[in-house]
Structure 1
Amino acid sequence: MKLQSLVLAAATALTMTTAFAVPAGTWTVAAGAHMVDPKSDNGTVLNDAYSVDVDSDIRPTVSGEYFVANNIGVELLAAVPFHHDITLTDANDNEIEGKTQHLPPTLSVQYHFDGYNMPMNVKPFVGVGVNYTTFFKERIYLGNGNDLELDDSVGIAGHIGLDIPFAETESFRIDARYMDIKTDASLNGIDIGEVDISPWVYGVAFVKQF
């Protein structure tokens, strides 16, 4: 009887969880803004003669997610180009300035903890995926005729977040991502080293479910 009661209770809990889960076939769209905050040590270039510092930037973002199963979604993140200033500093504190723009589309598989009776009906989620970052409009202020290039990057991406519902199909989202972004830099076609950006990306968004 105890075993039967436990099985019945487990089945009831599973049914309740499934009933309130985000069902397969659901779409969500999130519009907001994110800050790309590169790691503090971005590597060295020119035979380790210069340390690299890449600053942060905030831009509008949008993402779409399709639920392939209950509570399991596939999300694509897009954004307008992020702008970053780059500073190269040698041992004598001499600086060379540069800049770049980049787009970091990221594809993730995510699990949403919906239907778990969380306090205030909040809905945490976690995800993992792949980031592709393409760089363009690179500049280096080292006299005329010098050309800086940053190669495209492919790396893993992790995602955690929290959806706070305020209507049946609308939520406020707070999230954070880690992106493994490393790019090979070249000056006038000659390899000068690797720039390790690998940022945390913090954001807020309005989420609509369809």
Structure 2
Amino acid sequence: MKTLTIAAALAAATLIATPAQAGDKDGKLQIKLLATGVLPDGKVTAVNNDPLDLTVGADTVVSDNIVPTLAVEYFFTPNVSVETICCTTKHHVNGTGTLSGANLVNDVLLIPATLTLKYHLPLGAIKPYVGAGPAMFIMLDAKPGATVAGAPFNVDDVDMSSNVGAVVQAGVDVPLGDSGFGISLDAKKYWISTTAKFYVAGVNVLESKHKLDPWVISGGVAYRF
């Protein structure tokens, strides 16, 4: 996360400092540096393997997180663009219901790879937009939580699957004069799931499917050129 913040700051500084990249409110490229809240759902939707009936009457909750985000957007026309975002986000999974208070998975690190086609409404200086496209949550790491890592479960490995889903978005860009700088607010809703597999000495002792379906809310600064 710290590396991403430094990289984003350097990218912005380079754009600002390079004379050839003069700001233009109608330019083809737009870079955004955003603070982003990732707010997952995290419900169990199916249980594929549970010989100890651990999931009976139980569900899960996934922690929220706030991360820096870098968005890059290319305008094909004044009203049509394509955008991708770059960030990593880390979450914890805890139990609810009969597993209330149980720490199940820690440090779920993922990349929410996203590509959206956007339409900007021609409403003057303030530029609202809507968009939609595919998304893929790339799972980089996950660790057994304290509850399942200890006795009597002794889980020593957790695998969270990477999956493809869909996303819609809506937001607004507010240019600050003709300088190319602006303020951006954005909301995305994802529909995407993952399968969690828990292992003890290489044996799959629990497998369950979870919908993540997060809201992702962002706000920050934009530079168009």
Normalising to structure 2: TM-score of the pair? 0.74
| Distance (Å, rounded) in 2 between the aligned partners of 1:92 and 1:77 | 35
Q: CA deviation at 1:181?
A: 2.0
Higher CA-based Rg = 1
- Pairing 1:159–2:169 present: yes
Q: CA deviation at 1:54?
A: 0.3
Q: CA deviation at 1:53?
A: 0.7
Please state whether the residue corresponding to 1:58 is helix, strand or coil: strand
Q: Which amino acid counterpart does residue 152 of structure 1 have in structure 2?
A: S
| Distance (Å, rounded) in 2 between the aligned partners of 1:65 and 1:35 | 20
- Kept in 1, the 8 Å contact 2:160–2:195? The answer is yes
- Kept in 1, the 8 Å contact 2:64–2:91? The answer is yes
Q: CA deviation at 1:145?
A: 5.0
| Distance (Å, rounded) in 2 between the aligned partners of 1:192 and 1:183 | 11
Q: CA deviation at 1:146?
A: 2.0
The one of 174, 196, 201 aligned to 2:211: 196
Ranges in structure 2 where 5+ consecutive residues have no aligned partner = 1-24
| Distance (Å, rounded) in 1 between the aligned partners of 2:177 and 2:104 | 48
The one of 123, 127, 141 aligned to 2:127: 123
- Pairing 1:66–2:74 present: yes
The equivalent residue for 1:3 is none
The equivalent residue for 1:28 is 30
Q: CA deviation at 1:90?
A: 4.7
The equivalent residue for 1:174 is 185
Aligned-pair Cα RMSD in Å: 2.1
Greater relative contact order: 1 or 2 (C-alpha under 8 angstroms, separation 6 or more)?
2
Counterparts in 2 of 1:185 and 1:68: CA distance versus 1, 3 Å = same
The one of 110, 120, 145 aligned to 1:112: 120
- Kept in 1, the 8 Å contact 2:94–2:100? The answer is no
Identity of paired residues, percent?
Answer: 25
Counterparts in 2 of 1:147 and 1:90: CA distance versus 1, 3 Å = farther
Ranges in structure 1 where 5+ consecutive residues have no aligned partner = 1-21
| Distance (Å, rounded) in 1 between the aligned partners of 2:113 and 2:172 | 21
Task: Tell me how many residue pairs correspond in the alignment.
Answer: 182
The one of 140, 150, 159 aligned to 1:149: 159
The equivalent residue for 2:20 is none
| Distance (Å, rounded) in 2 between the aligned partners of 1:209 and 1:38 | 31
Q: Which amino acid counterpart does residue 111 of structure 1 have in structure 2?
A: Y
User: After superposition, what is the alpha-carbon deviation per residue over 1:40-65, rounded to whole angstroms, capped at 9, x for unaligned?
Assistant: x5126545323111010010001111
| Distance (Å, rounded) in 2 between the aligned partners of 1:184 and 1:72 | 35
- Pairing 1:137–2:141 present: yes
Normalising to structure 1: TM-score of the pair? 0.79
- Kept in 2, the 8 Å contact 1:89–1:96? The answer is no
